[in-house]
Structure 1
Amino acid sequence: MVGHSSAVKQVIMLTLGWEELPKAWSVHGCDPKERLIEPVPALLIETIDGWVLLDTGFNKALIQDSALYDRFHSEFYEIKPILPAYELDPLLDALERHGLEIDRLLAVGVSHLHNDHSGGLRHLGRSKTPIYIQSKELEFGLGDITKAQNHGLARVDYDDPRLNYSVISGDVEIAPGIHAISTPGHTPGHQSFMVDYPQSNGSKGFIFAFDAGDLVENFELELAIGGFIDVDAGETIDQIRKLKSLAVKNNMTIVPGHDPDIWPTTQEGLSRIC
């Protein structure tokens, strides 16, 4: 599957906010009183053809406006969004810090449509940038609006006819050196991403799990994740094992999606390389 050893020029890990939440959302069966503050992840990847964005963080309006907050966040299972300090918007500010404008992106991949991952899609409404999404995810997001909202999707974030969705099914290369990896369970069409980016430590790249596995213990101990839709908890371990198998086969490093220690540590290491 991996065949572009020099296709990815740099990988920039972004933190577009945080969430205070019960650890039980990340590890099935944990004490619901145990809480973590987890990063909201995204990635900027420069390829030989241009820049690719993976995930887009929160929609700040749904947090700052009290009525919208009440509707989309206040009653959602004790998950509290935290925005970073910014002038414009978490995503737009992050792009600006790296000298990019949203209409310069070659492509966007969205792991899934939860509000902490799809809130920035609204900025792409005037762009023709392709947005890669699994067919089952878009079908779920545009289906039963009550069910979707009860599971943390805000349809206002992603239901825009101007958005240029590129609907895929299964494991697909979406840009040079970047593969979408189908990992359903957390949501019906969740996808992770494999990035071919050789490192001096011998790793040939990274598998960014996003919400197929939030924490390092999900992978080291093969523990089921806590949030899932239309599957049993144990079925989420199948996706963890799939990613572990790909990591071994391709000599890659797995980066869990929301680990409060691993995400910033890896982010710092990559920033020194870039």
Structure 2
Amino acid sequence: MLQIGDIEVHILNDVTYFVDAGGPFGLVPRALYSRYMQPNENNLVPQAQLTLFLRVGGKNIVVDTGYGSKVDRRMQRILHFQQPFDGLMRGLTKLGVSPADIDLVINTHLHGDHCTGNTILTEEGELAAAFPNAEYVVQRREYEDASHPNERTRATYIPFNYEPLLASGQMRLLDGDSELAPGVHGIVTPGHTPGHMSVRLESQGQHAAFICDLASYAVHFERLSWMTAYDVEPLITLETKRHWQQWAIQTEATLIFVHDAKRPVGKLKANEEGGNPFLEVIETPIFNMDPAVYNTAF
């Protein structure tokens, strides 16, 4: 657990899986990225799928819902899901929290790996909200893009992850930066998608941020020019990172990187020799993280 002033932060890994290295590293040559993340013989690298559980001001908050429980076996095989998965729900259970106890769900964006756990299939095969008493929030621009996908984005924008929540009135659309609970801010950080949102925490002079896909791995945040092949607007990603790099250094913020299986938590430090800033790793327990799964290239 992390404590950011009055905000209690639990990091829960919904699932660990493997993707082709060309996805997370895009145009970065293998000779460079393999110094940081060594792919296996099939050119696959591990990805965590981190979610957060926050307690603040008497509220229980979930940030991102991961893949959840309704991913079929074919997709589990394609993504090389490591067992067990559905770590968000299992982690909440371990904390003594039921789905009905959640007051707010923050969707950073609506890509399938971040919001498939928004909904569940009932025993009758019907879709239902995974958190029946929660308000769900997402940026309006993100929802508009999800509602009008193109050939590149339609595989990851899957309506059953969010449309039932809009139809029931359980999901609220945000128009820009918003304080969602005391010290919990949804901040638009465009690039990965135009409506992508990171979550900034501030309490009692302490700062933290769930960077999400602004920088999927810590090395993406250290190096402005490194970004994923999944980013819709990569040059905007670069400039957004430039701004938040400086914020992170100035505030000494604790940073959480959603897909990083090696260095998921740390603080960004300026390089006194003038090179790239670097992450000072913070060791903290993360539910459903097995270090034996990960390579040791760092």
TM-score, length-normalised on structure 2? 0.73
In structure 2, the partner of 1:246 is: 247
| 1:14 aligned to which of 12, 15, 26 | 12
Separation in 2, partners of 1:128, 1:15: 23
In structure 2, the partner of 1:170 is: 176
Q: Do 2:118 and 2:162's aligned partners in 1 also have CA atoms closer than 8 Å?
A: yes
The alpha carbon displacement at 1:229 in A equals 5.2
Separation in 2, partners of 1:156, 1:146: 18
Structure 1, unaligned stretches of length 5 or more? 75-79
**Structure index of larger Rg:** 2
* Residue identity matched to 2:70: A
The alpha carbon displacement at 1:119 in A equals 1.0
Q: Do 2:10 and 2:52's aligned partners in 1 also have CA atoms closer than 8 Å?
A: yes
In structure 2, the partner of 1:209 is: 211
In structure 1, the partner of 2:187 is: 181
1:206 to 1:44, Cα distance in 2 relative to 1, 3 A: same
In structure 1, the partner of 2:113 is: 116
The alpha carbon displacement at 1:132 in A equals 1.6
* Residue identity matched to 1:137: E
Separation in 1, partners of 2:10, 2:116: 19
1:118 to 1:211, Cα distance in 2 relative to 1, 3 A: same
In structure 1, the partner of 2:161 is: 157
* Residue identity matched to 1:30: V
Separation in 1, partners of 2:152, 2:22: 21
What do residues 211-264 of structure 1 show as CA deviations (whole Å, max 9, x unaligned)?
A: 110112111121332134542x22211121232233234331222221111227
Residues matched between the structures, number: 248
What do residues 178-222 of structure 1 show as CA deviations (whole Å, max 9, x unaligned)?
A: 111111221231111112256xxxx82311111110112111121
* Residue identity matched to 1:36: V
The alpha carbon displacement at 1:145 in A equals 7.2
* Residue identity matched to 2:20: P
Separation in 1, partners of 2:131, 2:183: 27
| 1:25 aligned to which of 23, 26, 31 | 23
Q: Do 1:186 and 1:212's aligned partners in 2 also have CA atoms closer than 8 Å?
A: yes
Say yes or no: does 1:256 pair with 2:257: yes
1:63 to 1:239, Cα distance in 2 relative to 1, 3 A: farther
TM-score, length-normalised on structure 1? 0.79
Task: Give the secondary-structure state (helix, strand or coil) at the position aligned to 2:190.
Answer: coil
Separation in 1, partners of 2:219, 2:111: 22
Separation in 2, partners of 1:126, 1:269: 27
Say yes or no: does 1:53 pair with 2:54: no
Bigger CA drift: 258-267 or 218-227?
A: 258-267
1:30 to 1:229, Cα distance in 2 relative to 1, 3 A: closer
The alpha carbon displacement at 1:128 in A equals 4.2
Structure 2, unaligned stretches of length 5 or more? 31-41, 121-128, 267-280, 287-298
